[in-house]
């Protein structure tokens, strides 16, 4: 049977897509339905139809899945932040493990996968140490803040995100009250007018230190002193700053930060390592799970104090400093110069001197240091962006012939591609472990150990 746009279909949801959407079939026609859960029986309206598949909007749940739960956030379905809040946490973990396994088998061509159980969270809510809230007006003209609806710039009002810290609401309430009291306009993307663009909050889970940074379309905030006084009453407040961003684009942070109260940074820890974090610093958003992830990386690296390690795409040196506790020497590479400045400062903060950091593209720095300066590696750790490793970098790893490569990935599809390349050229897959850094979302972090054959 041929299905067309606006047709109503009844579906049993039998699978879950990589973005968390439910998948059902009607007479052989596959329909992807956002907000449907494996095990649901639903009616859906077809919004877009291709020859053999289409995309539907959930109309009614005729029979709920045994895996379906009530989201704790009333905005879960509208907001673009969580895709899996209606799914039990045990089933979320099973979905992520299946997604990871599927990519490694289909894209990487791996059969006998040495997979360890996915590492989940005991409390899969309120784990984010960072949040960026856009500010705007609703249809009635009232100032609102929250999160963008999926694939739009329409703000879904929410001051108490289930993934964020409880202090977020107190910060947002005080900033919005200040804007209303002194008639300070939020930024309007359509006109480029208005002052306050985003409210950015960071929190140190292990120190209790709190940072607030307002991203503004100007140089100063009216009645700044009064707002600082109000925010300073919140327990743990350590840093209040303004970030200047006058550009008409979708980039949240500008380059210039002005500290208007307290320190320029907050401090937090992962394991025994302390990190100073500024508004512009990259830092993992789930420190509890990051400790588990890095501990697994350290286990896979199997360091005994005599190894030279390269940490590629090292950011502010979070993994580098973790590895330096057990390695003879660690070299980190990162393209963002400000991140390398943070890495060097954090090394001094922790009195770690067996590290060296390079600014540049990993695919350029590693070949240069290997071919011109003869540096080598016993172990290489890579933690690339979603697009995975550059091919030149992979070829240089093969030339250097480290005993072990530990690959930390935020995208299991590009991970599978890169592992296939390395395992076709002298390496073998030894261990795979998923780590749930982002409960209630479809994202899964993966850590993999590959080893030189016959090593």
Which region, left, alpha or beta, applies to residue 153 given φ > 0 means left and ψ of -120 to 50 means alpha?
A: alpha
List all residues 6 or more positions away from 18 whose beta carbon is below 8 Å from its beta carbon.
99, 442
Spot the catalytic one: 82, 389, 410, 423. 410
Rounded Cα distance between 241 and 215, Å, is: 9
Q: How far apart are the first and last CA of the chain?
A: 57
Where do we find the tokens 């079939």?
25
Residue 41, token pair as written in the block: 């029986």
User: Is 389 among the catalytic positions?
Assistant: no
Rounded Cα distance between 226 and 61, Å, is: 50
Rounded Cα distance between 426 and 415, Å, is: 17
Where do we find the tokens 């299946």?
98
Where do we find the tokens 């054959």?
453
List all residues 6 or more positions away from 341 whose beta carbon is below 8 Å from its beta carbon.
none
Rounded Cα distance between 246 and 179, Å, is: 19
List all residues 6 or more positions away from 118 whose beta carbon is below 8 Å from its beta carbon.
93, 96, 97, 100, 433, 434, 435, 436, 444
Which region, left, alpha or beta, applies to residue 441 given φ > 0 means left and ψ of -120 to 50 means alpha?
A: beta
- Just list the catalytic residues: 410
């Amino acid at each position: 049977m041929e299905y067309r746009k606006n047709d109503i279909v009844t579906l049993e949801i039998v699978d879950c897509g990589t973005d968390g959407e439910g998948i059902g079939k009607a007479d052989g026609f596959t329909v992807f339905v956002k907000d449907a859960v494996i095990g649901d029986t639903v009616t859906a309206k077809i919004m877009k139809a291709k020859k053999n598949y289409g995309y539907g909007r959930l109309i009614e749940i005729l029979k709920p899945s045994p895996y379906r739960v009530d989201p704790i956030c009333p905005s879960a379905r509208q907001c673009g932040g969580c895709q899996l809040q209606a799914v039990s946490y045990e089933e979320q973990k099973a979905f992520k493990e299946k997604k990871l396994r599927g990519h490694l088998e289909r894209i990487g061509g791996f059969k006998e996968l040495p997979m360890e159980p996915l590492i989940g969270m005991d409390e899969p809510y309120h784990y984010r140490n960072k949040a960026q809230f856009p500010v705007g007006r609703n249809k009635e003209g009232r100032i609102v803040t929250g999160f963008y609806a999926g694939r739009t710039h329409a703000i879904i009002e929410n001051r108490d995100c289930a993934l964020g810290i409880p202090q977020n609401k107190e910060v947002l309430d005080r900033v919005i009250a200040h804007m209303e009291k002194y008639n300070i306009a939020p930024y309007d993307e359509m006109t480029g007018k208005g002052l306050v663009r985003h409210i950015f909050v960071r929190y140190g889970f292990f120190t209790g230190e709190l940072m607030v940074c307002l991203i503004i379309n100007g140089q100063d905030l009216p009645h700044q002193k009064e707002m600082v006084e109000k925010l300073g009453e919140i327990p743990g407040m350590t840093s209040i700053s303004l970030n200047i961003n006058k550009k008409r684009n979708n980039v949240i942070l500008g380059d210039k930060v002005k500290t208007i109260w307290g320190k320029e940074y907050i401090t937090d820890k992962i394991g025994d390592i302390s990190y100073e974090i500024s508004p512009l610093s990259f830092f993992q958003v789930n420190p509890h799970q990051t400790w588990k992830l890095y501990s697994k990386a350290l286990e896979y690296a199997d360091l005994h104090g005599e190894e030279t390690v390269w940490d590629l795409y090292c950011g502010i040196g979070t993994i580098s400093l973790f590895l330096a506790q057990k390695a003879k020497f660690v070299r980190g590479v990162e393209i963002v110069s400000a991140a390398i400045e943070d890495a060097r400062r954090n090394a001094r903060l922790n009195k770690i001197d067996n590290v060296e950091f390079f600014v540049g593209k990993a695919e350029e720095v590693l070949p240069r240091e290997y071919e011109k300066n003869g540096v080598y590696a016993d172990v290489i750790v890579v933690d690339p962006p979603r697009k995975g490793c550059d091919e030149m970098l992979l070829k240089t790893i093969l030339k250097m012939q480290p005993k072990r490569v530990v690959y930390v990935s935020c995208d299991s599809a590009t991970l599978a591609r890169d592992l296939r390349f390395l395992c076709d050229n002298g390496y073998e897959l030894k261990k795979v472990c998923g780590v749930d850094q982002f409960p209630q979302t479809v994202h899964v972090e993966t850590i993999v150990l590959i080893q030189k054959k016959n090593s």
